[in-house]
Structures are given as structure tokens and as C-alpha cells.
Chains A and B, each alone.
Chain A
């Protein structure tokens, strides 16, 4: 049995929320267009979101509603003025995500520093071996 539009919208919110827990999502229907707004912009513009967007679009097309599914983000041409469904991540969750993100950044920074040191030390090691070889 095919999903109804409200079921599809619930399904889409669930899929987006599962993959991007830090994203705010809003939905509004204007005439035949079903708008789903996803914020922040960096999630919306990511390749992972493009994959999910196509997955949802394919499902929407299979419902044969004759309507249009359109994804939006902040600062877009079309603005939602009366969204009928809204999901906002809780401040605790958003804070946790921000902390996780800064921890990940810190780890990435340490890795980069380690790689730089490793790159710097490797030729020295070879140079040392070379000197030993010359001495022998």
C-alpha cells in the first residue's frame, strides 16, 4: 500500500533526523508543492544530503501524487511563512553535537600535527642511516 502525503512527510522527517540529528526541519505545502526546509546550510549542501534527497524524491515520485517535492534551506528564494510541521533539535542535543564536533576537530588537529612531525622526522631518519652507511 502506498504512503499518503502526511505519512511520507513523517517518514522524510524521520529519515533526515536519523541521518542529521542536528538539523532543523520544517514542512509546508503551497498548492501542489511540498517544501521541506533543512537548516543549517552545510548539511543541506552536503553530498550525504543529496543522496538522501534523491532517495526521498524517488519515493515521492513513486507515490504519483502529481505534486512536487522541493528542498529548501536558509536564505533561499522561497521562504516558508506557515510551516505545518517543525522539528527543532533540543538545545541539549545541539550543544552535545557542537561539543562532539569540537572534540572531533581537536582530534583532527592532533592527527595533522602528528603527520607533520612524522613527515619532518622521516627524512632525518633516512639522512642518519645514510651517514651511518657512509661511515661504514
Chain B
């Protein structure tokens, strides 16, 4: 819907956060000890909480499939950085990049769904 309305930057934003929220949900639901530790890190004001969530889930994914875990890791890192650039920089987000972002987000969801109990 955002794409058809030509809201490309918000499409990038929601694409990334849909993945991050899924990552956080999985950790909270299935790996609560890890999730608690990440919460502690965050309140200390140290580290990068988004990256901590991504790394922690990647660590669990690696136990079932190294290749998919690597794909998840590199795609999430790209989404994260592209979302920051899209939200805060002056660079315009064009339609093809917004479409690409949503394709990557979809792939991330598929990897999580394949390896994580939902």
C-alpha cells in the first residue's frame, strides 16, 4: 500500500521494523534469558541494541543452518543501515530500492519462519 502511494522511505522503514519486531518477539518468546540480557545491555546505554538482537538470533539460527543464518545476518545488517540512511539522510529513496527492501524483508521473514518455531 505504501508503495502504491509512492511512500518509498516509509516502506523501507516498515520493511525493516517488521523484521526487527519479529526478531525481538522470537527472542522474547523462545530465548527469554538472552532477551533479558539484551534488555540489561540496553539500559546500560552501551552497545547497539538492534545489532544485539540481530546477532543473538543469528547465533541461534547458526545452530540449525549456517548458510541461512549468514543470509539472515547480512540481509538484516543491510536493511538496518539502509533504513537509517532512508530515514535520516537527504538521499531520495527510489521505487526500485523500496521494492528491493521489501523483497529482502520478505526473505528474512521466510528464513525465520523456516527455522524458528512460530
Dominant secondary structure at the A interface: mixed
Q: Is the pair A77, B66 in contact by a Cβ cutoff of 8 Å?
A: no
Q: Is the pair B74, A70 in contact by a Cβ cutoff of 8 Å?
A: yes
Distance of A54 Cα from B71 Cα, bound (Å): 11
Among B2-10, B21-29, B78-86, the stretch that binds chain A is B78-86
Chain A residues within an 8 Å CB radius of B48: 32, 66, 68
Chain B residues within an 8 Å CB radius of A70: 74, 77-78, 81
The residue from B55, B62, B71, B77 contacting A33, defined by CB atoms under 8 A apart: B77
Q: Verify if B113 is at the interface (C-beta below 8 Å from A).
A: no
Given contacts A66-B47, A77-B104, contact A54 B74 (CB under 8 A): no
* Interface size grouping (class) on chain A: 10 to 19
The residue from B66, B79, B101 contacting A54, defined by CB atoms under 8 A apart: B66
Q: Verify if A51 is at the interface (C-beta below 8 Å from B).
A: yes
Distance of A53 Cα from B81 Cα, bound (Å): 19
Interface string of B44-85 (1 = CB under 8 A from A): 000110010001000000100011011101100111011000
Interface string of A86-113 (1 = CB under 8 A from B): 0000000000000000000000000000
Of A33, A68, A72, A77, the most chain B CB neighbours within 10 A belong to A77
Chain B residues within an 8 Å CB radius of A120: none
Distance of A118 Cα from B100 Cα, bound (Å): 47
Given contacts A50-B70, A51-B66, A70-B78, contact A77 B100 (CB under 8 A): yes
24 A-B pairs, CB-CB below 8 angstroms? A32-B48, A47-B67, A50-B66, A50-B70, A51-B66, A53-B74, A54-B66, A54-B70, A57-B73, A61-B55, A66-B47, A66-B48, A68-B81, A72-B74, A72-B78, A76-B78, A77-B78, A77-B82, A77-B100, A77-B101, A77-B104, A78-B78, A78-B81, A78-B82
- Which of B's residues lie within 8 Å of A, judged by CB? 47-48, 51, 55, 62, 66-67, 69-71, 73-74, 77-79, 81-82, 97, 100-101, 104
